[in-house]
Amino acid sequence: MAGTRSYDAILAAQSRSALRGAGLVGLIVLVCVAALAATGFFDAKRFLESGPAISTLASEMVPPDFTRWRTWLRPLLDTLAMSIAGTALAVIFSLPLALLAAPNTSPHPGVYWMVRTLLAFLRSVPEIILGVLFVAAVGFGALPGVLALALHSIGMVGKFYAEAIEHVDPKPLEAARAAGATPIQVIVHAVLPQVLPQLTDVTIYRWEYHFRASAVLGIVGAGGIGFELIAALRLLNYDQVSAILLSILACVVMVDSVGAYLRKSLK
């Protein structure tokens, strides 16, 4: 069957597919360059003129002024609490939604599309906008921040959960079904045990992200260290700004290492 002619055909097809791959990479590079140009990145003059302004700002930020550190402790703890509470809420709502949004566990294609759309909508509203809305609704403080983080994250975490659930090995599911398990028993005992490590991973990553995001949310009045940050910026106390940024950095490093530890021990 496979004579020289068919060898040639196979190799020619291989070359064609390699060429298509190269063409696609070229196109992506082109689009990236166009995007940089459109946003003014290749305007050298602007960069040259910005030199003095940047150096003035930098000199005002150094040395960082840590004299008010006591007043930042509570807001930093608030930020930490916001990140944990936001993650907990996001997980509680994401899991059931993800089960409805994964084609292999969703009860009906209609439900699948509805929940997918809902999740897409939730993650398309930036948390800073949600923060502004919730501050208007429930007042200043950590609560609007937590609600904003959770609501936005449900869209993201729900999608990641759904994708993990979608790619489970169907064989153990069939085994459970063959043993007479109900659909919910199949989900709890054959689907979830398979995806638990991925769900944990997504959740921990999201918690790390929530800490950084809740620092930003303070800027719109949603509690935490961000509130102090925006106050220092408004008063042009750049040495305090740099001190707060360094404190946030220290906490991010801490949160990330706790996350790494949890990831390792929950495998």
Partner 1 sequence: MISLHDVTVTYPNGVIALHPTSASFQRGKFIVLLGTSGAGKSTLLRSINGLVRPTSGDIAVEGRGSIFADRAQLRAHRRSTGMVFQQHHLIGRLTALDNVLTGRLAAHSTLRTLLPLPRADRLLALEALDRVGLADRALDRADQLSGGQQQRVGIARAMAQKPEIMLADEPVASLDPATSIKVLEDLHRICREDGITAIVSLHQVDLARQFADHIIGLSQGRIVFEGTPDRLASVTLDQIYAVERQSLAKAA
Site string for partner 1, 120-139 (x = CB under 8 A): --------------------
In the complex with partner 1, the residue whose CB is nearer, 142 or 195, is 195
Other C-beta atoms lying within 10 Å of the C-beta of residue 184: 10
Q: Does 184 bind partner 1 (CB under 8 A)?
A: yes
Site string for partner 1, 35-74 (x = CB under 8 A): ----------------------------------------
In the complex with partner 1, the residue whose CB is nearer, 198 or 237, is 198
Let me know if 178 is exposed, middle or buried by CB neighbors in 10 A (0-12, 13-18, 19+): exposed
Least CB distance to partner 1 at residue 267 (A): 9
Q: Residue with structure tokens 């020289």?
A: 4
Sign of CA dihedral 192, 197, 202, 203: positive
For partner 1, which residue of 182, 253, 257, 260 counts as binding (CB under 8 A)? 182
> How far apart, in whole angstroms, are the C-alpha atoms of residue 223 and residue 75?
7
Q: Site residues for partner 1, window 192-211 (CB under 8 A)?
A: 193-194, 197
For partner 1, which residue of 9, 19, 92, 175 counts as binding (CB under 8 A)? 175
Site string for partner 1, 90-109 (x = CB under 8 A): --------------------
Q: Does 176 bind partner 1 (CB under 8 A)?
A: yes
Q: Does 189 bind partner 1 (CB under 8 A)?
A: yes
Q: Does 172 bind partner 1 (CB under 8 A)?
A: yes
Q: Does 185 bind partner 1 (CB under 8 A)?
A: yes
Q: Residue with structure tokens 């910026």?
A: 233
For partner 1, which residue of 9, 77, 138, 179 counts as binding (CB under 8 A)? 179
For partner 1, which residue of 95, 181, 233, 262 counts as binding (CB under 8 A)? 181
Least CB distance to partner 1 at residue 103 (A): 17
Stretch binding partner 1 (CB under 8 A), from 66-74, 137-145, 188-196, 249-257: 188-196
- DSSP letter for each residue of 160-222: HHHHHHHTS-HHHHHHHHHTT--HHHHIIIIIHHHHHHHHHHHHHHHHHHHHHHHHHHGGGT-
In the complex with partner 1, the residue whose CB is nearer, 38 or 178, is 178
Tokens of 209: 């992200």
In the complex with partner 1, the residue whose CB is nearer, 189 or 212, is 189
- DSSP letter for each residue of 19-81: HHHHHHHHHHHHHHHHHHHHTTTT-HHHHHHHHHHHHHHHHHH-S---TTHHHHHHHHHHHHH
Helix (H) or strand (E) holding 227: helix 225-234
CA distances from 23 to 13, 17, 28, 32, 188 (A): 15, 10, 9, 14, 45
> How far apart, in whole angstroms, are the C-alpha atoms of residue 56 and residue 148?
36
Tokens of 57: 């700002």
Least CB distance to partner 1 at residue 100 (A): 17
Binding site for partner 1 (CB under 8 A): 169, 171-172, 174-182, 184-185, 188-190, 193-194, 197
